[in-house]
Amino acid sequence: VGVTAWYKSLIRVDYRFSNPLDEQRARGLITVAMNTVIILAIGLVYLITDTSTSITGLSIGPVPIGVGDLALGAFLFLAIWTVYIVRLFIHRGRPDLAGIAYICFVLFVALLESILNQPATGFVLMLFSFPIILAGVLLEGRQKRIMNAVTIGVVILLAVLHLAGALEKFAPLSLSLGDMLVFVPLILLLQSNALGIFSDNQRKLLEHNLELNRKLEGNLEELATLNVRTMEATRLKSEFLATISHELRTPLNAILGFTGILLQGIRGQVDDDARRMLSRVESNSHRLLELINQVLDLSKIEAGRSELVRTSFSPRALIDQWHTQMEPLAKEKSLQFELVIDKALPETLVGDPERLTQIGVNLLGNAFKFTEQGKVNLRVECTAEDWSIIVTDTGIGIPPHALNFIFDEFRQVDGSSRRMYGGTGLGLAITRNLVRMMNGKIQVESELGKGSIFSVKLPLDGGLASQPITAVNVDKVLV
Amino acid sequence: MKDKFLQGWDVVVVEDEVDSLEIAEILLMSYGATVYTAADGAAGLEVIQKVRPKMVISDLSMPKLDGWGLLEKLKQNRATMDIPVIALTAHAMAGDRDKAIAAGFHNYLTKPLTVETFLQDMIRIVADIEMLEPFEKDPSSGETVNGSKDSAG
């Protein structure tokens, strides 16, 4: 019992198995191996306690050990492995093979005993104890305890009968005390753990774990379904937006067209007051059109219907173009506009120059929009794998709480800043999504009142982005 | 406009969006053209066959007979096959432009039609058409036009 407890604690240490069934199998194997060691140890005790009181010359103290005893030890050793195999077959749903293994074993025992010219003690013991052991193993809870009690009862009965000399009269069962010494502890060992079957508590724990695993798998499945539904909802929303955008643009284009005709005096001159108001109609219509175009753009990106062009282009020429495009803004606000390009930047890159311009112009546009004095710096850096577009300004900066949603749709720092600075609040969301499509990263660092740094890091190979953008969380925020 | 560069031109505009149609009409008239309008391809075909205009401007997606179908019908008829047809394509449908040129449209105009861009586009297109006139019977004229349009731009 002590040894059993000890190695049970030993095998409980290792819980690294990912699959509880693997663990169960491993425990079974360890248990059988441990039992084998114990039986071999018993055999060793037999051998070293050499006396000349029996035919074999072996005895345990005063108890002589016959050839039958040794055979019995060997049979029990075999019995453990047989039980292990039988259990394996039963667990695999092959009771037929289990039965064949058991019959083979019993026949083998009988064969050995006839060869050794021994009374069929082992044979009878095996025949009679094996079903008890197996029943004890396969049964659960109360039934198992009853079976254990029956087994122990039978063993005790045998012992008593033996001591009373009653078994001597029963010819095939000439059980000696040595037989009993081997038989009793081993049958208990087999019963309790030779099969690697856990105690009820362990079994419950295992079942609980399995149940939890099953639940977890169910939850995962549910989550996957939910995710698919969310993606579907996003797609539908984007499709709806695309349709709506088109429907919005049509009347707006009519407004712009007719306003333009009136402003150009194509149908006769309009007076200055009317012209002033028509200009307001025109500029507001342009703003609305820009918003609609951005919504359409964003919804297309989110619906995964926006594809990047892959063409070779000159990054220097592209950046020069941004510089030229932004220069009037810098002059208008009397801001310095610095441009620093890393010498390591390759002459040509592969990517989507139009979309890159959208990113660059957006970041620069924001920098100029939110900077009243000082400078805007555009720095282009290059490493072995990627290149970065870094826009630094000395503007109003972004408060820390706003850094978390600065890339979200329709988010500016607060409503008043939108009134003050205009814009749709979609620029950064589009930029972020475009950067993602290019397998790049966008980061922002900012200090309130001091300025902001937006940096976009893009892979030099152009970033083959094929997956649609569905997530809407910020890549990384540095404060 | 002061510059009546379409003086003496008969132009047929086929477009199912009434606003877009009227804007085109007003602008073309301001350049001196005589404008005939139709709200779908079938009506457009009738007008074109009657008027034999110098130029057709047609939307692509229309009820009854769309722009593609209209072009096909015009190309089938010896009397109308040489009339240059300009496709009106939506700004968002970038792919339509190349498709339109490949299908045999003389050129394309991008919607929305604004006063500034329409004038520029028309000057370019008209220059192309006038350059083309000596080669009008050349079956490979489509490509010539395309090439000259690119060099002009």
* Averaged pLDDT, B21-49: 93
Between residues B149 and B23, the one the model is more confident about: B23
Please check whether residue A69 is in contact with residue A46, taking contact to mean a CB–CB distance below 8 angstroms: yes
pLDDT band at A476 (very low <50, low <70, confident <90, very high): very low
Residue A264, both tokens: 């150009």
Give the rounded percent of residues in chain A with a pLDDT score beyond 90.
Answer: 8
Share of chain B above pLDDT 70, in %: 82
The dihedrals phi and psi of A269, each to the nearest 5 degrees, come to -70, 145
Confidence of residue A479 (pLDDT cuts 50, 70, 90): very low
Q: Residue A191 has what pLDDT?
A: 53
Confidence of residue B138 (pLDDT cuts 50, 70, 90): very low
By C-alpha distance, the chain B residue nearest A269 is B1
Question: Among all residues of chain B, which has the CA nearest to that of A256?
Answer: B114
Question: CB within 8 A of A297, min separation 6: which ones?
Answer: A306, A426, A430
Predicted TM-score (pTM) of this structure: 0.48
**pLDDT higher than threshold 90 for residue B43:** yes
Alpha helix stretches (DSSP H) within chain B: 18-30, 41-51, 67-76, 94-103, 115-132, 141-152
The answer to whether ipTM exceeds 0.85 is: no
**Alpha helices in A380-460, H assignment, sequence order:** 415-421, 427-437
CB proximity B86 to A under 8 Å: no
**Which residues on A lie below 8 Å from B92 (Cβ)?**
246, 296
Q: What is the mean pLDDT of residues A90-99?
A: 74
Task: Look at A249 and B116 and tell me if their CB atoms are within 8 Å.
Answer: no
Alpha helices in A139-199 (DSSP H): 141-163, 177-189
Residue B152's pLDDT is 37
pLDDT for res A297: 79
Closest CA to A35 of A65, A78, A67: A78
B interface mutation test: which of A239, A244, A248, A264 has the most B CBs within 10 A?
A264
Tens-place pLDDT, residues A369-397: 888 888 899 999 988 888 899 999 998 88
Q: Residue A395 in contact with residue A262, Cβ under 8 Å?
A: no
Chain-chain contact of B113 with A251 (C-beta, under 8 angstroms): no
| Contact call for A261 and B19, based on CB within 8 A | no
Instruction: Please state, in angstroms and rounded to a whole number, the distance separating the CA atoms of residues A394 and A447.
Output: 10
What pLDDT shows up at residue B48? 94
Query: pLDDT of B72-123, one tens digit each?
Result: 999 998 889 889 999 988 765 667 778 888 889 998 888 888 888 888 888 8
pLDDT the model gives residue B38 = 94
Tell me: pLDDT of A106 over 70.
yes
First to last CA, chain A: 63
Is B86 exposed, middle or buried, given 0-12, 13-18 or 19+ CB atoms closer than 10 A?
buried
Q: Quick: pLDDT tens for A130-143.
A: 666 666 556 656 66
User: Could you tell me if A279 lies within 8 Å of chain B, comparing CB atoms?
Assistant: no
pLDDT tens digits, A179-229: 555 565 565 555 554 444 444 555 666 777 778 888 888 888 888 888 888
Whether the CB of B77 is below 8 Å from some CB of chain A: the reply is no
